[in-house]
A and B are shown apart, each in its own frame.
Chain A
Amino acid sequence: MNLVNFRFETDADGIATLTWDMPERSMNVITPQVMEELNQVVDKVASDEAIKGCVIVSGKEAFSGGADLTMLQGLRDLYVKLAKEQGEQIAMQRFFDESRKLSLLYRKLETCGKPFAAAIHGVCLGGAFELALSCQLRVVSDDASTRVGLPEIKVGLFPGAGGTQRVSRLMQTGDALQMMFKGDQIKALPARNSGLVHAVLPRDQIVAAAKEWLKTNPQAKQPWEDPKFKLPSNKVHSPAGMQIWPPASAIYRRETNDNYPAARAILSAVYEGLQLPMDLALKVESRYFAKILRTKEAASMIRSLFVSMQELNKGARRPADVPASKLKKVGVVGAGFMGAGIAYVTANAGIEVVLVDRDIEAAEKGKAYSHKLVTDQITKGRAKTADRDALLGRIKASADYADLKGCDLIVEAVFEDPKVKAEVIAKVEAVVGPKTIFGSNTSTLPITGLAEHSERPKNFIGIHFFSPVEKMLLVEIIMAKKTGKKALAMALDFVRAIKKTPIVVNDVRGFYANRCVGNYIREGHLMLMEGVPPAMIEAAGKQAGMPVGPLSLNDEVAVDLAYKVLKATKAQLGEASVDPAQEKLLNEMVEKHGRLGRKNRKGFYDYPEAGPKRLWPGLAELTKNKLEPELIDMEELKHRLLVTQALEAAKTYEEGVVTDPREADVGSIIGFGFAPYSGGTLSYIDNMGAAAFVKLCESLAKKHGERFKPNRLLKRMAKTGDTFYGAAEKKAAA
């Protein structure tokens, strides 16, 4: 055997150990070469009479993260190329054969006549866990880092190397479906309790235990090889099946709004597969896998949620020539809701925090928020009291700016008032050294304007968090005119340290995320004033793939805030900058009816003490217009809600607010939940094609107003056939 990625040795008892340890990689990953070598190993184990069985173990700190997603993208490219050169039929057959190679390899391993065992420590996910599932024994370490799971769904794929069939033969059907729908990573004990693995042992015993088992069970077979094997949830077509399957389809719709073909494929692959013997079941799974692998949803999600996200997290936008900053101490000024959240995530990353507010009570109150958050973790069993003590020990609450001395970075999160901010800037700069970077957390004020109050504008940058800080993954880094690259580098290093994803944007009113999401809310407002029943507006938002409807979202961020922003916009940019229908709606909601949102339990919804929120019946009185539900085109409502955001993203791109399609896409998904299946705002346009998107915008503009008019950039792209990603690639190559 000629092995590069594995070591293979056989002990005196005839038990082979296959150690997966890929050179020059920190994590094992399934590549074509890995598959080829594993194939050799299976042949060797099967044919060598001296070998009784084989245990697979990793030579690294973790088992493996699964398949190389770029390999799958490569397969897709191969298909497109072949289809052009040799026709659809040949391309499809070749693609099908290629895309099921891993599945066939695992099946070969499973049925080669000698037993395999997987000894798992650390993460073992996706294709790697599917490898483990095809082994007759799975032993995992009891280490806290050990996790198994099939997270393919998160990038628009599904387990296509036997995962759907083996998991649904090990677990109750409902549990198996849920596990694959959610894509959760499962810890050792729950994995054993649900039957996914056989034993949990200390790390140093897993290999020995696996070997011992192989020695005593040389004839071991998978349970489904037994002719008397019974499915965990009985037959599909049975009274039990009637309790499982119709709800499974309903829950699929509830959770996905039928926007995720991969989740749908899981259902069908399991449903059909459970009615077939294993070899055929795997073939059916492969058929669905080949289909899903070619969907635009999978391609877009892999690109945005895996590749781009990883690149941004690794610092794609970081100036390479600035050495990594060592963040030891961060000052947070303003201990309100945002400041308190920023203090928590910073301390949670092991960084010392000085949390400053006007008086010590306010500062302590901000610190108490961290106490609450860790306490919640403790009650859920996710943290220990000692963790809370350590974290709180890293936060110093103070009313004295002098305590900020020695901070590497200051994050200011005080009231959104230029005067207040100017005072804070002066007070901070009076005590910190010349190298300290000043980050301002503002969602509405231009950073360049604030930087004018700074004596060190090169060190001044915007760091825009989203609320609630501890939950939201996105941070917008805003470059003011004079912001220097050291400030940018430190801001990015900070975001990386607190495990969030940054996008770097230029300083234009509203920046990026809030402009897009503001449009989403406005479109909901306008629909309401047109007479669309509010329930339909909300349903359209969710069916389009947004996490909540526009009216719900406005209730969450507060209706009076939306009104305040609208008034401010009008004051600064003039009468024409706001929509009169929206203004009338917000004015009546806030001034006349005191409906401020969830915060006072009265917004577009009522929030009763008990029971779920319900749309406020008074909404019907806000407009005289009434549209007949059966005559409303839901598809058009969905288009309006997404197009208004995507178009705004295209405008920010043209204006140079966002400069990288990856940032626009990733930012839109993790910042405001823009239809993840689309890959993000700009992928949405790219997937539709600029020409079709422009056409759609124009027809919406004709029907619903100028706000849908496409910008110049899009019109040009429609003519040239360019895409955002295509143009960005060209630019990068040039």
Chain B
Amino acid sequence: MADAFIYDHVRTPRGKGKADGSLHEVTAIELGTQTLRAIKDRNNLDPKLVEDVVYGCVDPVGEAGADIARTVALKAGYGKEVPGVQINRFCASGLDAVNLAAAQVMSGQKEMTIGGGVESMSRIGMGASGFGIAVDPSVAIDTYFMPQGVSADLIATKYGFSRDDVDAYAVRSHKRAAKAWEEGRFKNSVIPVTDVNGLIILDRDETIRPATDMQALAALKASFVQMGEMGGFDAVATAAHPDVEFVNHVHHAGNSSGIVDGAAAVLVGSKKAGKAAGLKPRARIKAFATTGSDLALMLTGPVDVTELVLKKAGMTPKDIDLFELNEAFSSVVLRYQQAFDIDDAVLNVNGGAIAMGHPLGATGAMILGTVLDELERTNKQTALVTLCVAVGMGVATIIERV
């Protein structure tokens, strides 16, 4: 099997995913185009070498519909020869896109590919593409469908995380993200989003609140109480996990991932292709895995998939220098940390989606890049990237520097 290497990665800053967010004026196509163009331009890449563009997008409707991957490849000037495919595995789509791009290289069918993703949550809106499994009773009932927030609260209750625990984690995310920006740790990867004149629209993640503290978060009301009680979902949670007497609702906007706009792209290729393009490989994609997990907990897939990918790679948690887990909700991270007994110092060291936001289809590619930058900065070797996924799935990738 051929090796797949990462040659470069870029991401946009993340803009607040509402009408007053800075990236609201930018179309999803333009957002996805700018990352792809940056990959081409800063690597002096002959785009014809790229044999496929795989882009994650969770709500591919409206302007993001009709295969946005092919659309942005064309708009970014890759030429009619470069195909594109849009994929969706909810929150992990961006990482899956990189994995699928890598898989094509590993299988020897392609030499150079791009994986990435784009989501304009302010323009399209979460759930805009429909949600059959949530809406159709014939599956919703049997799969214990719940809104993610109730699942996150169930995780907190079942594994014993209090409101203080989850708030403290959120404070840490903001502090770490703020520090990372302060020290310029993201500077090599974040490209500013510009207008048609080249004027900068946004060059910095927009939702970080460095000053946030426990007191500020304590003032926020738990978000999923009404849904749990009136909407009946607490009963679904305890039916699936009868050892839990009642759901303790602890999550709110302040300790959950932010809704934002953003895009990311990762350039992947074989050794040969890199050489031909005159590029130096930065990391090897060592292993990746996907799995299904408990449906009601929904967001504990990272635990299961981490066990799986470590087994595939013949590794143990001790072999991993840095863990990067998408901060969908505080309890997701705390449970993951608990399951593998991971030290604070090696997990999400530069903050995550609670501080900087989670542009659904793009996040996986973004955090893969973030942790690669951090490996390089601290001269470490191996990282594991993982995300929880709606409807109880998990995706993980292990990379190692070369």
Q: Which residues of A contact B (CB under 8 A)?
A: 236-237, 239, 241-242, 245-254, 257-258, 264, 267-268, 271, 533-536, 538-540, 543, 612, 614-615, 629, 634
What residue of chain A has the Cβ atom nearest to residue B137's Cβ? A267
Within 8 Å by CB of B231, from A241, A251, A271, A536, lies A251
Q: How far apart sit A268 and B135, CA to CA, in the bound complex (Å)?
A: 10
Q: Does B239 contact A246, Cβ atoms closer than 8 Å?
A: no
Q: What are 20 A-B contacts with C-beta separation under 8 Å? A: A237-B130, A242-B135, A245-B134, A246-B135, A246-B147, A246-B233, A247-B233, A250-B233, A250-B236, A253-B141, A254-B232, A267-B137, A267-B141, A533-B243, A534-B245, A536-B242, A540-B242, A543-B239, A612-B246, A615-B245
Q: Does A253 contact B243, Cβ atoms closer than 8 Å?
A: no
What residue of chain B has the Cβ atom nearest to residue A236's Cβ? B135
What residue of chain A has the Cβ atom nearest to residue B241's Cβ? A629
Within 8 Å by CB of B141, from A258, A536, A540, A614, lies A258
Query: With A247-B232, A268-B137 in contact, is A614–B243 under 8 Å at CB?
Result: no
Query: With A241-B135, A250-B232, A253-B232 in contact, is A535–B141 under 8 Å at CB?
Result: no
| Complex contacts, B245 vs chain A, CB 8 Å | 534-535, 538, 614-615
Q: Does B238 contact A539, Cβ atoms closer than 8 Å?
A: yes
Q: Does B235 contact A (CB under 8 A)?
A: yes
Query: With A236-B135, A264-B137 in contact, is A257–B239 under 8 Å at CB?
Result: yes
Interface of A (DSSP majority class): helix
Q: Does B215 contact A (CB under 8 A)?
A: no
Q: Report, as a range, how many residues of chain B touch the other chain.
A: 20 to 34
Within 8 Å by CB of A535, from B140, B145, B230, B243, lies B243
| Complex contacts, A245 vs chain B, CB 8 Å | 134-137, 140
Q: How far apart sit A237 and B233, CA to CA, in the bound complex (Å)?
A: 20
What residue of chain B has the Cβ atom nearest to residue A634's Cβ? B242
| Complex contacts, B138 vs chain A, CB 8 Å | 268, 271
Q: How far apart sit A538 and B141, CA to CA, in the bound complex (Å)?
A: 21
Q: How far apart sit A594 and B134, CA to CA, in the bound complex (Å)?
A: 47
Q: How far apart sit A534 and B231, CA to CA, in the bound complex (Å)?
A: 25
Q: Does B137 contact A252, Cβ atoms closer than 8 Å?
A: yes
CB of B306, distance to nearest CB on chain A (Å): 19
| Complex contacts, A536 vs chain B, CB 8 Å | 242-243
| Complex contacts, A264 vs chain B, CB 8 Å | 137, 141
Q: How far apart sit A239 and B61, CA to CA, in the bound complex (Å)?
A: 14
Q: Does B134 contact A246, Cβ atoms closer than 8 Å?
A: yes
Query: With A242-B127, A614-B245, A634-B242 in contact, is A248–B137 under 8 Å at CB?
Result: yes
Within 8 Å by CB of B140, from A236, A249, A534, lies A249
- For the complex with contacts A271-B137, A539-B239, A634-B242, 8 further pairs of A-B residues with Cβ separation under 8 Å are A247-B231, A248-B137, A249-B140, A249-B141, A249-B145, A250-B231, A254-B236, A535-B245
Q: How far apart sit A253 and B147, CA to CA, in the bound complex (Å)?
A: 15
Q: Does B134 contact A242, Cβ atoms closer than 8 Å?
A: yes
| Complex contacts, A538 vs chain B, CB 8 Å | 245
CB of B158, distance to nearest CB on chain A (Å): 9
Q: How far apart sit A242 and B131, CA to CA, in the bound complex (Å)?
A: 8
What residue of chain B has the Cβ atom nearest to residue A258's Cβ? B141
Q: How far apart sit A543 and B232, CA to CA, in the bound complex (Å)?
A: 15
Q: Does B146 contact A (CB under 8 A)?
A: yes
Q: How far apart sit A215 and B236, CA to CA, in the bound complex (Å)?
A: 53
Q: How far apart sit A538 and B236, CA to CA, in the bound complex (Å)?
A: 15
Q: Does A252 contact B243, Cβ atoms closer than 8 Å?
A: no
CB of B184, distance to nearest CB on chain A (Å): 41
Q: Does A246 contact B244, Cβ atoms closer than 8 Å?
A: no
Query: With A536-B242, A634-B242 in contact, is A254–B135 under 8 Å at CB?
Result: no
Q: Does A629 contact B243, Cβ atoms closer than 8 Å?
A: yes
Within 8 Å by CB of B145, from A237, A246, A268, lies A246
Interface set, chain B 98-151, CB cutoff 8 A to A: 127, 130-131, 134-138, 140-141, 144-147
Interface string of B344-360 (1 = CB under 8 A from A): 00000000000000000
What residue of chain B has the Cβ atom nearest to residue A244's Cβ? B135
| Complex contacts, A254 vs chain B, CB 8 Å | 232, 235-236, 239
| Complex contacts, A242 vs chain B, CB 8 Å | 127, 131, 134-135
CB of A639, distance to nearest CB on chain B (Å): 15
Interface of B (DSSP majority class): loop
CB of B335, distance to nearest CB on chain A (Å): 14
| Complex contacts, B131 vs chain A, CB 8 Å | 242, 246
Query: Which of B131, B136, B144 has the largest number of chain A CB atoms within 10 A?
Result: B136
CB of B147, distance to nearest CB on chain A (Å): 7
Q: Does B242 contact A250, Cβ atoms closer than 8 Å?
A: no
Interface string of B141-169 (1 = CB under 8 A from A): 10011110000000000000000000000
| Complex contacts, A543 vs chain B, CB 8 Å | 239, 242
| Complex contacts, A249 vs chain B, CB 8 Å | 137, 140-141, 145
Q: How far apart sit A246 and B135, CA to CA, in the bound complex (Å)?
A: 5
| Complex contacts, B141 vs chain A, CB 8 Å | 249, 252-253, 258, 264, 267
What residue of chain A has the Cβ atom nearest to residue B135's Cβ? A245
CB of B200, distance to nearest CB on chain A (Å): 34
Q: How far apart sit A267 and B134, CA to CA, in the bound complex (Å)?
A: 13
Q: How far apart sit A249 and B242, CA to CA, in the bound complex (Å)?
A: 18
| Complex contacts, B233 vs chain A, CB 8 Å | 246-247, 250
CB of B70, distance to nearest CB on chain A (Å): 26
Q: How far apart sit A489 and B230, CA to CA, in the bound complex (Å)?
A: 48
Q: Does A614 contact B231, Cβ atoms closer than 8 Å?
A: no
CB of A325, distance to nearest CB on chain B (Å): 48
| Complex contacts, B231 vs chain A, CB 8 Å | 246-247, 250-251
| Complex contacts, B241 vs chain A, CB 8 Å | 629
Q: How far apart sit A540 and B241, CA to CA, in the bound complex (Å)?
A: 11
Q: How far apart sit A267 and B135, CA to CA, in the bound complex (Å)?
A: 10
Q: How far apart sit A242 and B146, CA to CA, in the bound complex (Å)?
A: 12
What residue of chain A has the Cβ atom nearest to residue B242's Cβ? A539
| Complex contacts, B230 vs chain A, CB 8 Å | 247
Q: Does B232 contact A614, Cβ atoms closer than 8 Å?
A: no
Interface string of B208-248 (1 = CB under 8 A from A): 00000000000000000001001111011011011111100
What residue of chain A has the Cβ atom nearest to residue B233's Cβ? A250
| Complex contacts, A236 vs chain B, CB 8 Å | 135
| Complex contacts, A257 vs chain B, CB 8 Å | 239
Q: How far apart sit A595 and B244, CA to CA, in the bound complex (Å)?
A: 23
What residue of chain A has the Cβ atom nearest to residue B147's Cβ? A246
Q: Does A535 contact B135, Cβ atoms closer than 8 Å?
A: no
CB of B159, distance to nearest CB on chain A (Å): 12
Q: How far apart sit A534 and B137, CA to CA, in the bound complex (Å)?
A: 30
| Complex contacts, B146 vs chain A, CB 8 Å | 250
CB of A637, distance to nearest CB on chain B (Å): 9
CB of A257, distance to nearest CB on chain B (Å): 7
CB of A579, distance to nearest CB on chain B (Å): 24
Q: How far apart sit A239 and B129, CA to CA, in the bound complex (Å)?
A: 10
| Complex contacts, A540 vs chain B, CB 8 Å | 242
| Complex contacts, B136 vs chain A, CB 8 Å | 245, 268, 271
Q: Does A251 contact B246, Cβ atoms closer than 8 Å?
A: no
Query: Which of A250, A267, A271 has the largest number of chain B CB atoms within 10 A?
Result: A250
CB of B385, distance to nearest CB on chain A (Å): 28
| Complex contacts, B145 vs chain A, CB 8 Å | 246, 249-250
CB of A102, distance to nearest CB on chain B (Å): 24
What residue of chain B has the Cβ atom nearest to residue A540's Cβ? B242
| Complex contacts, A246 vs chain B, CB 8 Å | 131, 134-135, 140, 145, 147, 231, 233
CB of A528, distance to nearest CB on chain B (Å): 14
Q: Does B242 contact A253, Cβ atoms closer than 8 Å?
A: no
What residue of chain B has the Cβ atom nearest to residue A629's Cβ? B243
Query: With A258-B141, A535-B245 in contact, is A253–B135 under 8 Å at CB?
Result: no
| Complex contacts, A252 vs chain B, CB 8 Å | 137, 141, 232
| Complex contacts, A539 vs chain B, CB 8 Å | 238-239, 242
| Complex contacts, B236 vs chain A, CB 8 Å | 250, 253-254
Within 8 Å by CB of B246, from A239, A614, A629, A634, lies A614
What residue of chain B has the Cβ atom nearest to residue A628's Cβ? B243
CB of A570, distance to nearest CB on chain B (Å): 32
Q: How far apart sit A267 and B138, CA to CA, in the bound complex (Å)?
A: 8
| Complex contacts, A615 vs chain B, CB 8 Å | 245
| Complex contacts, A248 vs chain B, CB 8 Å | 137
